[in-house]
Structure 1
Amino acid sequence: MRLNDVSRHAALRALFLLGATAIASPALAQNAPTAAADEGEDDIIIVTASKQAKTLIDTPIAVSVASKATLEVAQIRDALDLQTLVPSLRVSQLQSSANTNFIIRGFGNGANNAGIEPSVGVFIDGVYRSRSAAQIGDLPSLERVEVLRGPQSTLFGKNASAGIISVVTAEPKFDFGGAAELSYGNYNAVVARAEVTGPISDTVAFSLAGNYNRRDGYVRNVTLNRDDNERNRGGVRGQLLFKPSDDFKLRLIADYDRIDEVCCSVVNIVDGPTGNAVRALGGRLISNQPLALESATNFASENKIDNFGVSAQADYKAGQFDLTFIGAYRGVRLNTNADSDFTSADIIGANRGRNAINTYTAEFRVASKFDGPINFLVGAFYFHENIDAQAALTFGRDFRGYASALSGGAYTNLEPTLRALLPGTPAGAFGGQGQGRFEDYDYKNRAISLFGTVDWELAEGLTFTAGGNYTRDTKRVTTNVVSTDVFSGLDLVRAGVNAGVPATVAANPQFNPFLGLRALQFLPPFLNFPNAVEDGRTSDSDFAYTLRLSYKMNENLNLYATHATGFKASSFNLSADSRPFASQFIPGSTAQVPAPAASPIRTALGANLPVNLTTGSRFANPEHATVYEIGIKGQWEGFAVNIAAFRQILNGFQSNVFSGTGFILANADQQSVDGLEIDSSISPTRDLRFTASLTYLNARFDRFPGGAALVNGSFSTVPLDLSGQRVAGTPEYAASLGIDYTARLSDAAKLLFHADYQHESPTQIAQGTVALKRTVDNLNTSVTLVLDNKIDISLWARNLTNQAWITTIFPGVAQAGTLSGYRNQPRTFGGLVRWRF
């Protein structure tokens, strides 16, 4: 089944027309300035991907660069829009505004679970942003966005096993100037940005910027009579630049941004057998409409995020050495709540999350500038993070009736019987309103990295690069998780024994009728740690390296071959599915005969072991990445092309799969991708540029016997051997085409026309046996009138043909047999006025 609702003829026709004119350049050129660039701007692009300022052609790394002009003319209005410029990059927003996942070359995780850092590292002005809630704010004064593909551990000190997104903003200037813009679009979208910069003295400059982004929701909540999936965010950013000499400068940055919006609505893909129970309670759901722009919840979600921080960067030129120090503090305060049954029945009363994240980083590096054949860069990176993560999932007023309906009345009718059979059962009605699970995690992470690279020019144009990174990472977690769900704490095996069922068969549902109710034990007791067996600590160390040979044949062509490794440390599972490892615990009730085999946890905890406890994982072991890559970078007048062919392997990829009540965290033994990336541009004239890109990814799990996947029928997440399967969500082919044309009306006026088109081949959405596929066809356009290079007046549209597709699917929460998901954003359009001074 393919989830697209309208014909793609118009978009495909655009693809054909653009492709016919760009046949000489089968890739997107985000690496060259667009037609929006000012007259006189050359084609030299400076990037800092290698921690040193170099031209793009002199940077033998698979890197894509989106300049300020490209971002403006393409109307990149959100982190989600970046993937239209970089086909190897996928960006998805999940169950809250704070959960945005970045994936490069099919590798990436880190959203939905506070204990997991992303495999794709995000740096803003050299400062590492460790969690997605700190990565998604609107940033003013963007200078460029660099996307580095493949492991980058020898250049970046923390968790760069899959790639890097490096965002660079403009530093203050000693000439007074600035800009202001205002845009308005459908859904009453208002975006306002302003920035000003200038001198305070001959040696001190400042800049101050602010942004406001508001939009009505595009999903109608039919029960609350309001619009969901809105935008409501804004922020301020101030900078000071001290530059007493050409050899020294100090840049100070302070910023604050806030998000307070209702997001993210869920669609009902399959209305399972629980739907009738919801309707019997008088509830409503938008049934079996996977592309609906309607929802039916009984309360609006909450997404409140405060993201703030300060940083200082000092740069000093000491003879033949460049010294750099970056120190930063980042804080995130996150509060969310969602009606996670996604119906108007009050089944889930609340699903709250509250995180306080405090992150301190420091980096020091020295780069040489020798005239001879050898140069080097060495550095150290320190990371210190504390997270207080709290969550609560509670039953609503309709849960008891819902559970009774699902069990044919047994849930409530058997309550007196079970209480009599199990003396000591806590007070409180089964499924009573307010009962639930209350979680509190205290997470501490300390890491230090020592890294460096050496470039040795063996002959003219031929350079050998060797780099290394030693990382030591320690984590410590303490949990305090309590379930007040009375029914989930019942030992139904023991109840059967006490009712006269022989102990030898009491664990068999054929002989023990009470076991038929186990499916309603949604929130069983939790085994907290540290305990007598589990210390709640991990300690990892690794040496990653890079070996590269590059040959710059001439000023237009550079060839390179790279072998590199990467590393990401262990991640803790801070969710209700955090369970003891099987090696430490033998599952089963203490009442079973024969008794379960002895285990360290049973021996240590004895009668204190919670009932209904099963095995799983507390944490995932580290990821180890390896890449083999060859590449070509070419740039001539009017034409540029970059080609990379690679094999990238991740041993121990940290898979994080939603189970319906929590997240299953496990290591894939080996996941790999064979791929080809081509991006280029061609400019027949100075006013016309065609851009295009093509990415091929053959991503698969080579070995993953301990996987978990979504299966048909029950639409539940079950253990499944994924060895040999393609990685779901990663398209085999992704292509982008674009065109920029400048019509010069006079010496003081010009029109800029832009269009870009993104296509992803049919892709299975979720791992497992649910054969649901997504095809992406996305057309974006804009036209801008530029007056005196100071005033821009634009009309723009994103997803012009209003294509619809499902981005993510998952099991219905407490609704076996129901399949839920998220769909993409519909067409948006509007106008913009920008003034530069």
Structure 2
Amino acid sequence: MLKKQYMSACAVAVLALGLATPALAQEAPAAAEATTQDSQPDNSRDDIVVTAQGRAQALADVPLAVSAINASSLERSGASDIRQLAQIAPSLQVSSTGNEANGSARLRGIGTVGDNPGLESSVAVFVDGVYRSRSGIGLNELGDIERVEVLRGPQGTLFGRNASAGIISIVSKSPSFTFGAGGDVSYGNYDYWRVAGNVNVPLSETVAARVDGVYVSRDGFYKDVTNGGTVNDRNRYFLRGQLLFQPSSDLTVRLIGDYTKRNEACCAAVYIDQTVAPANRNLLTTQNPIIPILTALGQPTAAFSDPYSRNIYVTPGRSYDGKTQDWGVSAQVDYDFGGASLTSITAYRGYYNYQASDTDYSKVDILYRAPGPDAGRRQFKTFSQELRLQGEAFGGKLDWLVGGFFANEDLGVRDNLKFGSQYGRFAACRILVSTPLAPFASPSSAGCLSAGGRGALLGANGGAGQFGAATPAIIAGFDRLDSVVNVGDTRSTYDQNSKNFAFFTHNIFEITDGLKLTIGLRYTHETKKLDARFGNNNTFCPAQQAALSPFLANAGLAAIAGGLINLTCQGNSTSELNGVSINDKRSDSELTGTGILSYKVTPDLLLYGSYSRGYKAGGFNLDRSALKGPIPAFATATLTAQQGAQALVRNLQFDQEINNALEIGAKYSTPGFSMNIAAFRQKFSNFQLNTFNGSVFLVQNVNSCATDLAGGDRDTSPTTGSCKKGDVRAGVISQGVELEAVIVPIREFSVSAGITYAQTKFRKNLIGTSNGAPLDPALRLLPGDNLSNAPEIVATTAVTWTPKLGGSGLSGLFYVDGRLSSDYNSGSDLFPQKEQDSFFVMNARIGLRGPNQRWGIEFWGQNILNAKYTQVAFSSPFQADGPGPAGVFPATSYPGATQIFSAFLAEPRTYGITLRGKF
């Protein structure tokens, strides 16, 4: 593993050589219609215009940390969705896990793990001013793009939706009043095909139309050895149609409709060994008692070696088939009254995704979602309306803006997660091999108990039985657990409605020539209502509880009885919940905003300092496992199951996330050289963390205590480590420095450079809620460590050369970019087995273009060095520690040799050819 000092030196060397971030957006102002992006030279140094502050401004005049990436840069890098933007934006990182709907974007090391649709994104995604409900939705094709603006830090004033860590704003190409058409066709390895086209037609002097379309097909990166075929394939298309109505210079109306459909198999994972992280050494050998169980139940030994072979062993008959549809319509109206201009954005969007899965990622049938519309389905229906009125006063000394926003969102989740046909046998064996009863384990026998073992248990201690009079009941408990097969959710539903309204103002005061004060405020109120109904046919759970619960008070029997109950009822999978419904409601009100003091020292140099406060709404954990602790008992002597579940519904709530941030920066811009630098410190209160503990997903707010907890946040007890409410403080700190630079010594050649140093850490003495409740023991490794997927150092690279070739109008294209990342932990619980070593990813493109770039041919490669790294590592489902002292599964002991880990791998090397044309 590279040391931090080496990484620092390496990154600085990369910067010094001028090999780093993307060529930043370099387009003419939107108002200057005569110059379009298509007609600009590759390395044009026209003003970079962005709308990061709700009005069109030159990037060099915006006192914010903003990266703006234009269409040419996106095209050269091969980026077609937000995931690939990370290659050319050093502060951005994007990863996806068991479903691409779960894609998570991070800025400055901060993001939201996306496996639970109840959590909104810390980094919000907007397309043409319209909020996308979760950042994973941005993994769709984007079509022809004018530019992408990446705003770093809390955005607590403008935009339709607050964001605690940053915003990715995507602006598509608008219709124009000049006819044009273009397209490209690409072919690459893995039988990759991508066909894209666009047509722009002026329908009259006041109306223009544009249509963009993309079709993508590709084989998957993983080979399903068991069932044949591949997983993580591409089969999608995208259409967007637009109308531009401009009857006068004062009024512009832009109508947009888009539709995306994906029918793909996603997302596979592999077991990881010491080639990924040294802490995995010997975890995939027979020294680990889990491995013999898996192999005895049918898992090939080849599955435990060479994760980058990308061979997977799916349970026969199981699949990862899924479907996604994403569509929407929007209308943007801009009207200039003379003294002020009004912008209205009205939108309605629909989205749904469902994804079947072999959820344990092995050939052994432990956990699965059957294909169909109930397979982890999530559906969003969102109406939004934004109004902004902006103008000037006092002779131009005040640039004012006021606005309002309203959104009504319906989220529906459907699930059919079930235990597989071998779950009960596997779970029974897991208990046995984690106890002194390991010699009695027999994966081929009922209850995983060999015939000799049953006899020994019954005949031990002079005939009284290993567990005394309880021995027959304990043996029956193993047999009952063995019977837990193909049961679980029949159709569980979670319906959430969110109503959000906000009022905001953003004002720029010119105090003296060059000295400006920006004040922004926003009041947001949001109400969420949850209605859930459960369908479950696991009748073995209540039977196991009834038979074994009396032994929980016996210190000698509690562990074995608790383990049997917990594994039979894992994640609150119980027929007690069948037909049970729950409901709840929560409201948040927050005042956020920003204050910025900026000074234009010279026409080329801007200095600024800012304070900003961002907000992300609280919500509900849309997972039945969060209703209760390790042993579900919804029905008691005094409560029905309905009443018991409703009494626990508050356990699903988590609080809003707040970011208070300071930033100072400088921007220097001349025609041939520009540089931006920003230093920041961000403090997150109620940080929303979602993590998989090997059995269930936990959603936990994270804070810190100002007093010493004496290790109470790092032990295995769920009750130690509490804090007085008055001592609660922010639990996550993100601080560092960002640097971006672009040099264009000649028209045909540009070098851009960038580096981000971000120390993104949990504080020590961590607690859970703002009331000072203890941290969940599964998160005991967090205090004082870095956040997951948060490398301290990232340097990116981009060099472009487009030489003229003779006097015939031909030109060449030579392009290379790269991303150097220091090491980080890719698991949100920070187990050492999930560490990712430093790596470097390089893309390249070489081509020949005709006169005025009317045609082109390009040869390209992505990840041409075939860097091997993981997106996210995780505890293999149910393949972790056995029952602990209180029967909890998995155990809360430090991760040892009785578990294994899996990972979602990053994409391998790809290469191909692209033909382009336009007229």
Q: Give the drift of 1:520.
A: 2.4
Q: How does 1:731-746 map to 2 (within 5 A)?
A: 731-746=791-806
Q: Give the drift of 1:187.
A: 0.8
Matched residue, 1:595: none
How many residues are aligned here? 798
Task: Give 2:855's match in structure 1, choosing from 782, 785, 791.
Answer: 791
Q: TM-score, normalised by structure 1?
A: 0.88
Q: Give the drift of 1:81.
A: 1.2
Q: TM-score, normalised by structure 2?
A: 0.81
Secondary structure class of the residue paired with 2:292: helix
- 1:543 corresponds to 2:591: yes
Q: Give the drift of 1:266.
A: 0.3
- 1:656 corresponds to 2:690: yes
Q: Give the drift of 1:174.
A: 1.1
Task: Give 1:725's match in structure 2, choosing from 785, 792, 796.
Answer: 785
Task: Give 1:806's match in structure 2, choosing from 870, 881, 897.
Answer: 870
Matched residue, 1:358: 381
Letter in structure 1 aligned against 2:24: Q
- 1:454 corresponds to 2:507: yes
Matched residue, 1:770: 832
Task: Give 1:291's match in structure 2, choosing from 302, 305, 308.
Answer: 308
Q: Give the drift of 1:229.
A: 1.5
CA contact (8 A) 1:478 1:530 kept: no
Identity level (%): 31
- 1:341 corresponds to 2:360: yes
- 1:463 corresponds to 2:542: no
1:527-566 deviation digits (Å, cap 9, x = unpaired): 979999x851110001002110111122211111111101
CA contact (8 A) 1:27 1:678 kept: no
Letter in structure 1 aligned against 2:391: S
CA contact (8 A) 1:28 1:680 kept: no
Q: Give the drift of 1:97.
A: 2.4
Greater fraction strand: 1
Paired with 1:268 and 1:151, the residues of 2 have a C-alpha distance of: 37
Q: How does 1:78-97 map to 2 (within 5 A)?
A: 78-97=81-100
Change in Cα spacing, 1:40 to 1:264, as seen in structure 2 (3 Å) is closer
Paired with 1:12 and 1:797, the residues of 2 have a C-alpha distance of: 27
Q: Give the drift of 1:745.
A: 0.2
Q: How does 1:591-610 map to 2 (within 5 A)?
A: 605=639
Q: Give the drift of 1:432.
A: 4.5
1:229-276 deviation digits (Å, cap 9, x = unpaired): 211111111111111111001111111101111121101024453332
Task: Give 2:668's match in structure 1, choosing from 634, 646, 649.
Answer: 634
Change in Cα spacing, 1:29 to 1:76, as seen in structure 2 (3 Å) is same
Unpaired runs of 5+ residues, structure 1, are: 4-8, 592-600, 709-715
1:423-465 deviation digits (Å, cap 9, x = unpaired): xx9x998534431134210111000010111111000011111
Paired with 2:164 and 2:590, the residues of 1 have a C-alpha distance of: 12
Q: Give the drift of 1:773.
A: 2.8
Letter in structure 1 aligned against 2:504: F
Letter in structure 1 aligned against 2:447: Y
Paired with 1:680 and 1:441, the residues of 2 have a C-alpha distance of: 47
Q: How does 1:76-475 map to 2 (within 5 A)?
A: 76-109=79-112, 111-269=114-272, 270-271=283-284, 273-284=289-300, 286-298=303-315, 299-350=318-369, 352-370=375-393, 371-406=395-430, 407=432, 408=441, 411=447, 431-438=483-490, 439-475=492-528
Matched residue, 1:6: none
Q: How does 1:447-526 map to 2 (within 5 A)?
A: 447-490=500-543, 492=545, 495=548, 497=550, 505-506=553-554, 508-510=555-557, 513-518=560-565, 520-521=567-568, 522-525=570-573
Q: Give the drift of 1:517.
A: 2.2
Tell me which moved more, 746-755 or 556-565: 746-755
Paired with 2:16 and 2:387, the residues of 1 have a C-alpha distance of: 49
Change in Cα spacing, 1:453 to 1:15, as seen in structure 2 (3 Å) is closer
Q: Give the drift of 1:614.
A: 9.6
Change in Cα spacing, 1:831 to 1:604, as seen in structure 2 (3 Å) is farther
- 1:693 corresponds to 2:754: yes
Letter in structure 1 aligned against 2:311: E
Paired with 1:745 and 1:410, the residues of 2 have a C-alpha distance of: 76
Letter in structure 1 aligned against 2:783: S
CA contact (8 A) 2:592 2:615 kept: yes
Unpaired runs of 5+ residues, structure 2, are: 28-36, 273-282, 433-440, 459-468, 704-730, 770-775, 881-898
Paired with 2:587 and 2:758, the residues of 1 have a C-alpha distance of: 33
Change in Cα spacing, 1:756 to 1:201, as seen in structure 2 (3 Å) is same
Matched residue, 1:830: 912
CA contact (8 A) 1:123 1:167 kept: yes
Secondary structure class of the residue paired with 2:417: strand
Paired with 1:822 and 1:725, the residues of 2 have a C-alpha distance of: 23
CA contact (8 A) 1:551 1:559 kept: yes
CA contact (8 A) 1:452 1:468 kept: yes
CA contact (8 A) 1:489 1:525 kept: no
Paired with 1:607 and 1:117, the residues of 2 have a C-alpha distance of: 30
Tell me which moved more, 313-322 or 105-114: 105-114
Paired with 1:353 and 1:726, the residues of 2 have a C-alpha distance of: 31
Paired with 1:365 and 1:562, the residues of 2 have a C-alpha distance of: 23
Paired with 1:719 and 1:12, the residues of 2 have a C-alpha distance of: 29
Secondary structure class of the residue paired with 2:572: coil
Paired with 2:366 and 2:42, the residues of 1 have a C-alpha distance of: 61
Paired with 1:31 and 1:331, the residues of 2 have a C-alpha distance of: 30
Q: Give the drift of 1:493.
A: 7.8
Letter in structure 1 aligned against 2:784: G
Paired with 2:785 and 2:215, the residues of 1 have a C-alpha distance of: 44
Q: How does 1:7-46 map to 2 (within 5 A)?
A: 19=15, 21-22=17-18, 29-32=23-26, 37-38=40-41, 41-46=44-49
CA contact (8 A) 2:94 2:103 kept: yes
